[in-house]
Amino acid sequence: MAPTPAAARQPLKLLMLHGYTQSGNLFHAKSRALIKHLQKAFPLHEVSAVYPTGPIHLKPSDIPGYEPSETAETDESIEAYGWWRRSNTANPPLYTGMEDGLASVAKVLKEEGPFDGVIGFSQGAAMAGMVASLLEPSRKEAFAHFAAGEGEEKGLQFPASFSGAGFSHPPLKFAVCYSGFRAPGARYRGFYENPSIQTPLLHVLGTLDAVVDHSRSQALVDACAGDPEKEGNIVWHPGGHFVPSQRPYLDASVQFIRKQLENSNGAAKSEEEEDVNDMDVPF
């Protein structure tokens, strides 16, 4: 059977959010096996991925484990970026610059959307959960509820970048979170509670992940509606803090995305799956 012309295919547009200290270009390289697998698994779709870079340009001192050189005269910036910085001087930790990170994502959604789903790694996976939540129709009321609190229980206001003039984007059909986690403390409850996150999330976690503690990932799982474990939306790989590129874990993402597309379309569509070469590139 002849391949379907690109012009006749349905779009499947993905927003790809990199991890802390990475960039859009680096995440593009690290997730190449995943995108390649998705493109082969969905021959009736025109799969495309957009890789923005976080607005927080990091310095060497922002990198965990950084030790200044005795000969270094300045703390020069490097090609490493984030969606926010974590300030541990506050208890619980404060995400400084997060408004800028959200605004940069909102700009991409506005100018390059609509997107079908979001895929993120580490800090980008945490951001993916937030973005999926913000696009849900009931989220403004949730933020208003928690913003009415007092003291340490007072939550954030709904991000202005997601409600400003000219911003319009439908709810996402899915999110895939590699090594994701929940933002800590009461100030961020609007993302996760009253109601829980309604967008289907797939959580892909490493049993040997020493960067994101399991309890932080579990907190994001617990913030999702339904029973993610019973529904098969938690996948463990026997590795550390990276996006796994072995076939079983690529297939897990394909199956999850296919299920959500079928649910959103109201009808199942059969698409032939093809092999891709394994490419194991840890972060």
Residue 95 confidence (pLDDT): 96
Q: Catalytic one among 23, 31, 122, 179?
A: 122
Q: Catalytic one among 37, 45, 237, 241?
A: 241
Residue 232 confidence (pLDDT): 96
Residue 2 confidence (pLDDT): 55
Q: Catalytic one among 209, 217, 237, 245?
A: 209
Domains of the chain and any CATH numbers: 12-61+77-265 (3.40.50.1820)
Is there a catalytic annotation at residue 37?
no
Q: Determine the Cα angle at 110 with ends 109 and 114, to 5°.
A: 60
Structure tokens at 145: 């509820």
Residue 265 confidence (pLDDT): 80
List the chain pLDDT tens, one digit each, 283 residues: 555 565 678 999 999 999 999 999 999 999 999 999 999 999 999 999 999 999 999 999 888 776 666 555 555 668 999 999 999 888 889 999 999 999 999 999 999 999 999 999 999 999 999 999 999 998 999 999 999 988 778 999 999 999 988 899 999 999 999 999 999 999 999 999 999 999 999 999 999 999 999 999 999 999 999 999 999 999 999 999 999 999 999 999 999 999 999 998 864 444 443 433 333 333 2
Residue 69 confidence (pLDDT): 63
Distance, in Å, from the CA atom of 145 to the CA atom of 186, rounded to the nearest integer, reads 12
Contacts of 260 (CB under 8 A, 6+ apart): 117, 173, 174, 200
Distances (CA, A) of 167 to 159, 170, 187, 189, 236: 12, 10, 24, 23, 36
3-state secondary structure of 205: strand
pTM: 0.89
Is there a catalytic annotation at residue 278?
no
Is there a catalytic annotation at residue 275?
no
